[in-house]
């Protein structure tokens, strides 16, 4: 029987390490012997615009794009981005892993729209399985806000079928030596949060 394809939609804004997150997860899946497809969409990333990736892995994957309502996971590194892309989440079995960290989009800065204050209520309606991960705060406490993405990877790692040791190897080889240890600590913090 063919293995089910796992669909992971990753969302955030430019500068949050969405592409690095995707690179590390894809490498982990490939080292596990799975077929992997990835598609990236860059908004105005350099200006805090939306950045998303579609990641799919399984025995044989034919398309890199996740259809709406078919994502097994949405990993969102910014609160509004979680809601903006919630339509991709499988409403019955999908799991939303998200940071409540807020980065105001350009229309908020230009006073065209307020930042929504009812995000949690709206997310509750669409995501039965939700895990809030204060990844940005954890990364800041650790002295490296750029590790937010690796905290989120740690949280996701609890739910995907890869050995922790494989993630550790991928993180070690995916960062220069001087950053590898701090990123491994960030990964472990993310795992701890999602395991409880």
What's the mean pLDDT when you consider all of the chain? 93
pLDDT level of residue 166 (50, 70, 90 thresholds): very high
- What's the pLDDT tens digit per position in 19-62? 999 999 999 999 999 999 999 987 654 556 889 999 999 999 99
pTM above 0.85, yes or no: yes
Q: Which residues contact 83 (CB under 8 A, 6 or more apart)?
A: 116, 119, 122, 123
Domain boundaries, the chain: 6-194
Helix axes 18-31, 148-157, angle to 10 degrees: 40
Tell me the two tokens of residue 172. Answer: 């070690």
Judge whether 83 and 99 are in contact, CB under 8 Å: no
Domain 6-194 = CATH 3.30.750.24: no
């Amino acid at each position: 029987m063919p293995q089910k394809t796992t669909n992971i939609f990753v969302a955030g804004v430019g500068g949050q390490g969405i592409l690095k997150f995707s690179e590390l997860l894809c490498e982990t899946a490939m080292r596990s012997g799975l077929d992997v497809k990835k598609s990236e969409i860059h908004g105005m990333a350099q200006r805090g615009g939306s950045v998303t990736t579609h990641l799919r892995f399984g025995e044989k994957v034919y398309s890199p794009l996740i259809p709406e309502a078919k994502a097994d996971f949405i990993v969102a590194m910014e609160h509004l981005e979680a809601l903006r892309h919630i339509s991709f989440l499988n409403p019955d079995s999908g799991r939303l892993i998200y940071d409540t960290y807020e980065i105001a989009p350009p229309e908020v800065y230009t006073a065209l729209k307020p930042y929504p204050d009812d995000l949690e209520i709206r997310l509750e309606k669409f995501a039965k399985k939700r895990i809030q991960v204060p990844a940005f705060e954890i990364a800041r406490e650790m002295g490296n806000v750029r590790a937010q993405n690796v905290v989120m990877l740690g949280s996701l790692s609890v739910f995907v079928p890869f050995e922790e040791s494989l993630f550790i190897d991928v993180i070690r080889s995916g960062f220069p030596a001087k950053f590898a240890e701090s990123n491994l600590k960030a990964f472990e913090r993310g795992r701890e949060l999602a395991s409880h």
